[in-house]
C-alpha cells in the first residue's frame, strides 16, 4: 500500500471517529459568523464580536467543545 493511500485512509478514519466534533466546529463556526453579521458590536469595543474572524473562531471552538461532550467513550 502506498504512503498516500495510507495517509488518506487514516484521514478518513479520523473524520469518522470525530464526526460529531467536526460537525459542531462547522455549524457553530457558521453561527458565530451569523451572530457577527446580524448582531455584532457597533462600538467596536467588544473583543469577540467586533471582528468576523474572532466571532467565527470563538463559535467554532465552543461548538467543538460542546459537541465533543456527546461522543461515546470506548
- Stated pTM of the model: 0.79
Per-residue model confidence (pLDDT) at position 43: 85
Q: How is residue 19 written as a grid cell?
A: 464526526
Per-residue model confidence (pLDDT) at position 72: 74
Q: How confident is the model at residue 4 (pLDDT cuts 50, 70, 90)?
A: low
Predicted confidence (pLDDT) per residue in 17-74, tens digit:
889 999 999 999 999 999 999 998 888 789 888 899 999 999 999 999 999 988 777 6
C-alpha distances out from residue 23 to 7, 15, 20, Å: 22, 10, 5
Predicted confidence (pLDDT) per residue in 17-28, tens digit:
889 999 999 999
Residue entry with cell 462600538: 43
- Domain locations along the chain: 20-68
Amino acid at each position: 500500500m502506498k504512503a498516500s493511500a495510507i495517509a488518506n485512509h487514516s484521514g478518513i478514519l479520523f473524520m469518522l471517529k470525530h464526526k460529531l466534533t467536526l460537525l459542531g466546529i462547522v455549524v457553530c463556526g457558521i453561527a458565530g459568523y451569523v451572530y457577527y453579521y446580524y448582531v455584532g458590536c457597533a462600538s467596536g469595543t467588544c473583543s469577540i464580536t467586533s471582528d468576523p474572524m474572532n466571532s467565527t473562531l470563538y463559535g467554532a471552538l465552543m461548538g467543538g467543545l460542546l459537541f465533543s461532550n456527546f461522543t461515546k467513550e470506548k
